[in-house]
A and B are shown apart, each in its own frame.
Chain A
């Protein structure tokens, strides 16, 4: 059992819970009560964990659930790049030997040996003049356990043979996030994009992108300077800003 408080980078403030409904909801509450930037909500379990479009994120003890509160001054489409910042930070902080295949699936899932180990969900509200009132970056990492029946195959740190302490991962992740966040603030998206592309899952391969009404097929060519997925089909390219990505052919 770990009772020591984790060491966080300077300026970060930790709100630690044994159990919450959802760390993103707690972080939003903090935003509404005027909590400072870099407030971090960390819970041992979530009873109402959420993924994309209200989907359930099963959140038992043993895994990492955290939400980071930021107040970006950039427009929403630019602030969305912070999802890539978080995904790269997480990929770089997972406790695996360097040769392990750790990849990023557009826009911000993290895969280990092709299976999903973490999900990131960004939530915000509009404030004055269409700017964001706040941005919450929710991160869920399968440390000790993972769902067995997920649509996209899942895995966990334990399953992949890594040290699965959420406490240690929280420290490493926030340390890495802080560095990349400052880089993004200083220099914009370009270097984050390069780091992300170096780990991109399915780059150059066939993809299916599921939108609400239809599924598009094509080759995953690139992400553009803003982070949109560039899909090529019959010589035409199309940019996609929202959707769910699957390989064109299911692979083992």
Chain B
């Protein structure tokens, strides 16, 4: 059995939608650990280790807030361009702009960041699939904070 990034994204989606607190998948070439932290709904993947498609190793137990240095080949990050409050939805009762597994095109809205009542829409700069969402809805984020990890289309 081979697992690529698309499969991992699918697994994350399923686990995220489930009531599981922790999920561990061990295969000969890969170990995947998904864990909810302290009641939050974040899913953790370590960027360093996320495989490029068809790559073979994954160490994925880093806490969601751990500082992350680099992405796997080909993946790209969307980071906060400013300090502010991160919102996943255009309005509290509206659906999120994107979910894990969402495919986005260049120019699609990913989130809002509010600083002093300036609401800035962050857009995808290029086409891709959301692999991870690293901040909580309503969280105060620092400039440069990792928000999304995407895999190019």
Binding site for B on A (CB under 8 A): 52-55, 75-77, 79-81, 83-84, 107-108, 120-126, 130-132, 135, 211-213, 227-228, 241-243
CB B36 to nearest CB in A, in angstroms, measures 17
CB A218 to nearest CB in B, in angstroms, measures 16
**A130 x B85 contact (CB < 8 A):** no
15 A–B pairs (Cβ distance < 8 Å), ordered by A: A53-B91, A80-B117, A80-B118, A84-B116, A107-B116, A120-B117, A121-B119, A123-B119, A123-B120, A124-B118, A124-B120, A125-B121, A125-B122, A126-B123, A211-B85
Instruction: Answer yes or no: B106 CB below 8 A from chain A CBs.
Output: no
**A108 x B119 contact (CB < 8 A):** no
In the complex, A120→B116 CA distance in Å? Answer: 11
CB B89 to nearest CB in A, in angstroms, measures 8
CB B40 to nearest CB in A, in angstroms, measures 11
Taking CB atoms, residues of chain B closer than 8 Å to A132 are 120
In the complex, A124→B113 CA distance in Å? Answer: 10
**B92 x A76 contact (CB < 8 A):** no
**A55 x B120 contact (CB < 8 A):** no
Instruction: Answer yes or no: B81 CB below 8 A from chain A CBs.
Output: yes
Closest to A79 in B: B118
From the candidates B79, B82, B137, B138, name the one contacting A77 in the complex (CB within 8 A).
B82
Instruction: Answer yes or no: B128 CB below 8 A from chain A CBs.
Output: no
User: 18 more A-B contacts (CB under 8 A) besides A54-B93, A125-B122?
Assistant: A53-B91, A54-B90, A54-B92, A76-B120, A77-B82, A80-B116, A81-B116, A83-B118, A84-B116, A107-B117, A108-B117, A122-B116, A123-B120, A126-B81, A126-B121, A131-B81, A241-B140, A242-B116
**A227 x B120 contact (CB < 8 A):** no
Flag B103-139 by CB within 8 Å of A: 1 or 0 each. 0000000000111111111110000000000000110
**A241/B122 contact (C-beta < 8 A), A53-B91, A53-B92, A80-B115 known:** no
Instruction: Answer yes or no: B84 CB below 8 A from chain A CBs.
Output: yes
**B120 x A241 contact (CB < 8 A):** no
Closest to A82 in B: B118
Instruction: Answer yes or no: B83 CB below 8 A from chain A CBs.
Output: yes
In the complex, A28→B120 CA distance in Å? Answer: 12
**A227 x B116 contact (CB < 8 A):** yes
In the complex, A55→B89 CA distance in Å? Answer: 13
